[in-house]
Structure 1
Amino acid sequence: METKGGKKKSSSNISNNNKNINNSHIQYEAPLGYIIEDVRPNGGIEKFRSAAYSNVSYEKRLEITFTEPPMFTDPNGLGCRALTRSQLDSILEPACCTIVAHLSNTEFDSYFIYLPFKNHSYVLSESSLFIYPLKIILKTCGTTKLLLSIPQILKLAESLSLGVDSVKYSRGTFIFQNSQPAPHRNFSEEVAFLNMFFKNGHAYVLGDLNSPSRNWHVYVANVGPRKLTNRMDGITLEMCMTGLKREKTAVFFKKLGEDSYKMTKMSGISEIIPSHEICDFEFEPCGYSMNGIDGTTYSTVHVTPEDGFSYASYEAMGLDLGFVGLEPLIKRVLMCFEPAEFSVAITCHGGSQGDIFADVDGYSCDSCVKQDLPSGGYIVYRCFTVAADAEKGRAVRSAANSDSKAADHSDSKMVAHCRKESAEAATAFCCVGSCLA
């Protein structure tokens, strides 16, 4: 962990012998003048469970892509990376977040952010911020007011001569919906708020009508001129996992005396994408987060390990399927946590579908839907439950059986249902589906 008032490097790809880092930087900071010990909550598991910040589950994710500014306005091509620390703080302040650490390379910057609470104590939040020259991604958990950051983002982008090209907002179904503040009290309210700032918005709820607690909520808006060529964003993979295996979550309890570096290694997270340079955090008394970067690709993991409401999320953006196979990647993630249930949301902006529809060994598909996006590309959302024959051991079976598993489901069909969800000043078009054998 961090030392009092100091800085620390914490990465599974950085050794402890002062290894030089050429084009990257990891820095930890005590927020707003507080020493590091003030950031950590005191007490045992029961206090942690009953605290307001235990309402950690499906994160909110906002992605805004910008058009290129005139050449002479930004000759160095910094774009959003030209924003100062104080300007970034001004973005996060309306969402009730602030930066506590960052990891950068020559392509983009990644940040850990945390949540302040009413009692004026501070705890690191399972939240991240990613800044590219022409893209800002903000991902927060709990009761953050993420969408309230939009006005300041747009104001600062305008000061850099950056116009909005596209917007995507996504989240799962909140476990503690009644705890969410405006404008996140329901999806209709979120859509209405987004439509105040962006035109050509479309909203979807993906999933099974019979399992509303496992739905995926998506808002997309293509504000700029539609491009005829494929976007170079690659694949975005978002996984949400619940009912984690106890033997796997035990790694993420601080009482075992493990720091974040050991958690990253022991859990297998460092092997999900081995090329990623990792900045990781462990929480008191339990919990874990990491950001990983390599070139223009990032990955992020957040873990809440408490038995009874254990949860882990994994996201990777900018994946090149020619370099990272999607099915093996998903299996490596599952090996780290062995969840009882999980969902996968895959966003593709063009190109071959590849192995996007591959089955997952040891799990059965409960629902499946593919949604084409107005700007091109599509989202595939699938929900899985551990298979009956794997429930006892809660283990992901080897890749050797994947071909026979896929053959068993070769006749699967996707059935979609649509409904309207109204909101004041906005209409959300919601599409849900199920995968039937």
Structure 2
Amino acid sequence: MIMEHRDEEFPAAKYVNHELSMTLDSTDAFEGPEKLLEIWYAPSKDLLAGGLKSPKGLRAIPRTRWEEVLDHVHCKVLSVVQTEEMDAYVLSESSLFVFPHKVILKTCGTTTTLAGIAPLQDAVAQYVGYPRDKQPWRVFYSRKSFMFPERQVHPHTSWADEVAFLDAHYDNGTAYIIGNVNADHWYLYATRPQYFDPELRLPVNGVDLRSNVKLNDQTLEILMTDLSPVHASQFFTERLPTVSDGTDSMASSVSSLGAEADDSDPGHVLGNVVTKSTGIDQIYPTEQQIVDSFCFSPCGYSCNGLVKEGYYFTIHVTPERHCSYASFETNVPPSHYGMNDLDVLDKVVEIFRPGKFSVTLFDSEDNSLLTKKMPIHLASYKRTEKISYELDGYNLVFLSFEANRAKDTAVF
């Protein structure tokens, strides 16, 4: 775990599953594109109040219970970092983020993400006191088109099956297929915002919580395929320095709190090496971040980056040439670091140099350059598609790109 912070204002604790970390093998990994489930029980942690069992909200659910939920999804916990704002889990297949008021579950391969809904509802009812039969405030489910759809299992055997499964659990859901169905495209399921139940939540500063709440929320996702072989090779463990034992200097935390990072297994140690060598730790130029990363054997990489004030980024890489894929997701406001979304896009694409990639942006404020009709320059790529939607409380932009071998710069 790389802890870049230099003060005590960003404390963190970490758990590592060393037994699983030492034995996990990615030889049979093939399906990089993740299934992304995001469930909001309130618009913010401040609005998840009265009537619930714990002020911690979803964070009151213990790790052991999350592991039981993940058993239904068919993935395991590799490590967990806890900050004041969230719990971030690196999984054997991608990531889990737990906030007081929402949960984000992102899993790849043949995991059964939606099968985790029912056990999650049970856990939320038991530890948080949110009624099991009451619909969450909002639910989002999305994924890129699969590379090998015939290998998926129920309920992910088709988009129609996934929508039917979601409709069985939630009301007022709308399903979208975005992009060229004969090329890379993206699927989205979203429920409409639910009104608040005053018996569960108390008014805050005189606000009627039964009305819609304006959010300041943005999520940027970059989904990349056909990675440059040179850049993909950075994520093969056989090309990395040998880690003879857990005493490697990269395994220790530089936290001013003096807490040990507990990264004493090759997967986490090499993950730290790759995070530094690829420049992943420099996507956001801040020392106020923690990057929990893992390198799989013989190849593959996952990391969760935690930034102050409850912001995160997460990266997952499947580097094999026949199915190469990398994803980047974040809710970090780039303006906090003197950047915009295009700066972040440039940095991420430069790490992987994909042959194709798509970008999705959810923005509640419509303040991103990607949502506006402005001239944008991106070296060596041409835009092949741009689609915009207005959803309940959000603007959505979907962009597709492919490498432009004939020109140095594309304008779109």
The residue that corresponds to 2:399 in the other structure is: 382
The TM-score, its normalising length taken from structure 2, stands at 0.80
* In structure 2, distance between residues paired with 1:279 and 1:384: 29
SS at match of 1:382: strand
* Residues 288 and 328 of structure 1, relative CA distance in 2, 3 Å threshold: same
The residue that corresponds to 2:363 in the other structure is: 348
* In structure 2, distance between residues paired with 1:267 and 1:257: 12
* In structure 2, distance between residues paired with 1:389 and 1:94: 47
Is 1:144 matched with 2:111?
Answer: yes
Is 1:206 matched with 2:219?
Answer: no
Is 1:62 matched with 2:80?
Answer: no
* Residues 39 and 57 of structure 1, relative CA distance in 2, 3 Å threshold: closer
SS at match of 1:199: coil
* In structure 2, distance between residues paired with 1:388 and 1:63: 37
The answer to whether the Cα contact below 8 Å between 1:56 and 1:142 also exists between their aligned partners in 2 is yes
Deviating more after overlay: 216-225 vs 194-203: 216-225
Q: Which has the higher contact order (CA 8 A, sep 6+)?
A: 2
The answer to whether the Cα contact below 8 Å between 2:313 and 2:332 also exists between their aligned partners in 1 is no
Is 1:161 matched with 2:129?
Answer: yes
SS at match of 2:39: strand
* Residues 355 and 224 of structure 1, relative CA distance in 2, 3 Å threshold: same
Among all aligned residue pairs of Structure 1 and Structure 2, give the percentage whose two residues are the same amino acid: 28
The residue that corresponds to 2:50 in the other structure is: 71
Q: Deviations over 1:332-359 (max 9, x none)?
A: 0011011111110111123434443545
Structure 1 gaps of 5+ residues are 1-9, 42-47, 115-124, 391-396, 410-437
SS at match of 1:196: helix
The answer to whether the Cα contact below 8 Å between 1:327 and 1:356 also exists between their aligned partners in 2 is no
SS at match of 1:91: helix
Is 1:217 matched with 2:196?
Answer: no
Match of 1:240 among 223, 245, 250: 223
SS at match of 1:153: helix
Task: Give the residue type in structure 1 aligned to 2:176.
Answer: Y
Is 1:88 matched with 2:66?
Answer: yes
The residue that corresponds to 1:421 in the other structure is: none
Displaced runs of 4+ in structure 1, greater than 6 A?
none
* Residues 321 and 230 of structure 1, relative CA distance in 2, 3 Å threshold: farther
* In structure 2, distance between residues paired with 1:154 and 1:40: 31
The answer to whether the Cα contact below 8 Å between 2:114 and 2:155 also exists between their aligned partners in 1 is yes
Deviating more after overlay: 266-275 vs 278-287: 266-275
SS at match of 2:331: strand
* In structure 1, distance between residues paired with 2:283 and 2:332: 15
SS at match of 1:368: strand
Residues 326-345 of structure 1 correspond to what in structure 2 (within 5 A)?
326-345=341-360
Q: Deviations over 1:225-266 (max 9, x none)?
A: 285442132x10111111111221221111123322221111
Match of 1:24 among 12, 16, 28: 12
SS at match of 2:165: helix
The answer to whether the Cα contact below 8 Å between 2:366 and 2:395 also exists between their aligned partners in 1 is no
Number of equivalences: 354
The residue that corresponds to 2:90 in the other structure is: 112
The answer to whether the Cα contact below 8 Å between 1:236 and 1:347 also exists between their aligned partners in 2 is yes
The residue that corresponds to 1:11 in the other structure is: 2
The answer to whether the Cα contact below 8 Å between 2:231 and 2:353 also exists between their aligned partners in 1 is yes
Q: Deviations over 1:313-371 (max 9, x none)?
A: 11102535464410000000011011111110111123434443545332111111112
* In structure 1, distance between residues paired with 2:91 and 2:398: 27
* Residues 229 and 69 of structure 1, relative CA distance in 2, 3 Å threshold: closer
Q: CA deviation at 1:101?
A: 0.4
SS at match of 1:302: strand
Match of 1:131 among 85, 90, 98: 98
The residue that corresponds to 1:371 in the other structure is: 389
Q: RMSD across aligned C-alpha pairs, in angstroms?
A: 2.3
Q: CA deviation at 1:280?
A: 0.6
Task: Give the residue type in structure 2 aligned to 1:135.
Answer: K
* In structure 1, distance between residues paired with 2:214 and 2:335: 15
The residue that corresponds to 1:230 in the other structure is: 214
Task: Give the residue type in structure 2 aligned to 1:293.
Answer: L
Task: Give the residue type in structure 2 aligned to 1:28.
Answer: V
Is 1:309 matched with 2:313?
Answer: no
Is 1:291 matched with 2:279?
Answer: no
Q: CA deviation at 1:37?
A: 3.1
The answer to whether the Cα contact below 8 Å between 1:63 and 1:168 also exists between their aligned partners in 2 is yes
Is 1:180 matched with 2:152?
Answer: yes
The answer to whether the Cα contact below 8 Å between 2:360 and 2:396 also exists between their aligned partners in 1 is yes
Match of 1:251 among 208, 214, 234: 234
* Residues 36 and 282 of structure 1, relative CA distance in 2, 3 Å threshold: closer
Structure 2 gaps of 5+ residues are 196-209, 242-269
Match of 2:379 among 361, 373, 378: 361
